[in-house]
Chains A and B, each alone.
Chain A
Amino acid sequence: MDFSQQLSQYLLSGLATGAIYALIGLGFAIIYNSTGIINFAQGEFVMLGGMFGVYFYTVHQFPLVAALLLAVLCAAASGVAFERLAIRPMRRAPPLGLVIITIGGSILVRGIAMLVWGKDTHALPGFSGDEPIILSGATLLPQHLWIFALTVLLIIANKLFFQYTITGKALRACAVNQRAAGLVGIDVRRMVMFSFLLASGMGALAGIIVAPLTMTSYDVGIMLGLKGFCAAIIGGMSNGIGTVLGGLLLGVLEALGAGLISSGYKDAVTFIILLLILFLRPQGLFSRGESERV
């Protein structure tokens, strides 16, 4: 085992983990861009996706595709319910209030999941088996390919959706200026709800597709959500490629940190780099600066 082979394994592992963070980060970005809210409950929808997936697949023995669709549907429905019950009544609240609401929401969702499904960790089988694939001396699981494919697919779908559909354009309009969007006849409330639907659905999809690798339990949402948030921040809270690059960078840094520096301090390394990025380029690595509104 020579060093270059080790390095390629670190890179590959890092990219694979990074893709997971990117998927989760996208959900943060979508909600932030259409509502200005940092949804701290985003990680919980990732958890819900995984848990619903396990529930339908292992407990009710549905076929995988059906379980996957149902799980995404259920989680998206919870996302909409969350928006209707907690976010919409708070439209005029200061941003800090909204932060607390989403924190409260995440605790609530986690608590309910714990009561319903218990505290055990669950695993899903890999979608196409667990036989490792060898790539220039480094190995990957088929599940990683699923994750990469889904990430690419989602970026493209996002791009198409936000550029070419009326709904997508309306969402972008809300992101720029909610009042102006309302004035030109966009139903802002529906758009906010829609962004929650989209984000929770995507989060759930991420949750179910990573479950065979990372396993899932009622409390996985905290850590995954935090990392996704990081990815979105590094990427400058963009809806598309920026967040994905942010996630990949995060994953690679983590893997290199664990492999080359110290596994105990790998998260510290990651966060120090995050701080440096914030200090030097507060608007994120991959986005152009915005002028500050007074």
Chain B
Amino acid sequence: MKSRFVRMAALLLALLFAAGAAVAAEPIKIGALFSVTGPPSFLGEPERNTAQMVVDDINKAGGIKGRPIELVVYDTTGDPTKAVQLATKLIKDDNVVAIIGPSTTGETMAVKPVTEKEQIPLISCAAGIKIADPVNPCTFKTAQNDTLAVERIYEHLQKHKITKVAILTVSDGFGASGREQLKNQAAKFGITLTVDDTFGPKDTDMTAQLTKIRGSEAQAIICWGTNPGPAVVAKNARQLGIKLPMFMSHGVSSKKFIELAGDAAEGIILPTGRVIVADLLPPSDPQKKALMTYVMNYKQRYGVEGDHFGGHAWDAVMLLKKALDQGADTPATIREEIE
């Protein structure tokens, strides 16, 4: 307690000096850790692009009370060790006031002890429930909860009186978190899992798993993964002539999935944030305008469609902006504002 007080006092002092030295244009430094390359680059790249875009927009509009935001982005390549090193770098060398990211649950769990020790707010873009459980005043997340996605799917199943389900999850952090949720919540919705199978993130053929499912009593299939695995699952299911209704996670809710799976994507149901279907929303929807601007800007700047993974970074920056707008510009005050 005492050391914390001392640190706070030191911080305040440092800030006083900083304020004395530079009156206005001192930028607010925000750190970002995304796996821009490496296996989870499908998450990291849109996140990096989005964060950069949003920050540039804020700066163009005059920054936060006249102070521009400086975004320091590092690429973790999906490696928890690197994520830890880079988090230290952001905190110690770049002196950022808050960190956005990392992209995956594993990396976030690795970084968490560091940011908590240094009392730097961390706004994760990963979905795993482990991140915010137990709740820590320093760690936040924006991503759509796996819990929520699973609930939506199970509610749908309940409505259609489906009780026997086969699940097929990818064996990486995303799939593991989904699998946990799917197993935990099944009983609540009166659902039994007849088959619980996995596939590797780089697997190229899932007919064996699907054959097993075809031979079981399952009435529906839930596939939890990110591209390209689920596209292979969709294709293989079609090849095997499986007619069961198929559900996918929000992990494939990008137009890429439809491109990859082709005809096989037809009839697949999945829960998603609203970014993908922004243009289909009714004009009365309060989110429509913000979403459409985001989608348009992203496409204009990067030449490809934005997806909801980028949306997580958007949320994270916006969350931070709100806190900054309230006048918070130290780790401690930002933390309080976000809470």
> Do chains A and B directly touch (beta carbons under 8 Å) in the complex?
yes
Q: Specify which chain A residues have a CB less than 8 angstroms from the CB of B215 in the assembled complex.
A: 1, 3, 6
> Is B268 an interface residue when CB atoms closer than 8 A count as contact?
no
> Is A101 an interface residue when CB atoms closer than 8 A count as contact?
no
- Considering only residues 215-246 of chain B, those with a C-beta below 8 Å from chain A are 215, 227-228, 231-232, 235, 238-241
Interface-centre pick from A120, A140, A213 (highest chain B CB count, 10 A) = A120
Are A264 and B262 within 8 A (Cβ)? no
Q: Which of A210, A215, A223, A259 contacts B209 (CB 8 A)?
A: A259
Are A139 and B240 within 8 A (Cβ)? yes
Interface residues in chain B, defined as those with a beta carbon under 8 Å from any beta carbon in chain A: 37, 39, 41-42, 45, 171, 197-200, 202, 204-205, 207-209, 211-212, 214-215, 227-228, 231-232, 235, 238-241, 256, 259-260, 262-264
- The segment from A8-16, A78-86, A232-240, A274-282 found at the interface with B is A8-16
Q: Specify which chain A residues have a CB less than 8 angstroms from the CB of B209 in the assembled complex.
A: 258-259, 263
Q: Which residue of A lies closest to B227 (CB)?
A: A121
Interface-centre pick from A17, A119, A141, A224 (highest chain B CB count, 10 A) = A119
* Main SS class of interface, A: helix
> If the complex has contacts A125-B262, A213-B204, are A132 and B240 also in contact, measured as CB distance less than 8 A?
yes
**Cβ contacts A261-273/B at 8 Å (1 or 0 each):** 0011011000000
Q: Interface size bucket, A side?
A: 35 or more
Q: Specify which chain A residues have a CB less than 8 angstroms from the CB of B239 in the assembled complex.
A: 130, 132, 139-141
Are A255 and B260 within 8 A (Cβ)? no
Are B259 and A132 within 8 A (Cβ)? no
- Considering only residues 83-140 of chain A, those with a C-beta below 8 Å from chain B are 114, 119-123, 125, 130, 132, 139-140
Are B240 and A255 within 8 A (Cβ)? no
Are A10 and B208 within 8 A (Cβ)? yes
> If the complex has contacts A9-B240, A132-B238, are A213 and B228 also in contact, measured as CB distance less than 8 A?
no
Q: Which of A217, A254, A259 contacts B228 (CB 8 A)?
A: A217
Interface-centre pick from A1, A9, A122, A219 (highest chain B CB count, 10 A) = A9
Q: Specify which chain B residues have a CB less than 8 angstroms from the CB of A17 in the assembled complex.
A: 204-205
Are A20 and B260 within 8 A (Cβ)? no
Q: Specify which chain B residues have a CB less than 8 angstroms from the CB of A224 in the assembled complex.
A: 204
- Considering only residues 186-222 of chain A, those with a C-beta below 8 Å from chain B are 210, 213-215, 217, 219-220, 222
Please name 6 pairs of A and B residues whose Cβ atoms are closer than 8 Å in the assembled complex, sorted by A: A6-B215, A119-B37, A121-B227, A122-B260, A123-B262, A217-B228
Are A132 and B204 within 8 A (Cβ)? no
> If the complex has contacts A130-B238, A264-B171, are A121 and B199 also in contact, measured as CB distance less than 8 A?
no
Are A255 and B41 within 8 A (Cβ)? no
Q: Which residue of A lies closest to B209 (CB)?
A: A263
- Smallest CB separation, A275 vs chain B (Å): 19
Are A263 and B263 within 8 A (Cβ)? no
Q: Which residue of A lies closest to B36 (CB)?
A: A119
- Smallest CB separation, B180 vs chain A (Å): 14
Are A130 and B262 within 8 A (Cβ)? yes
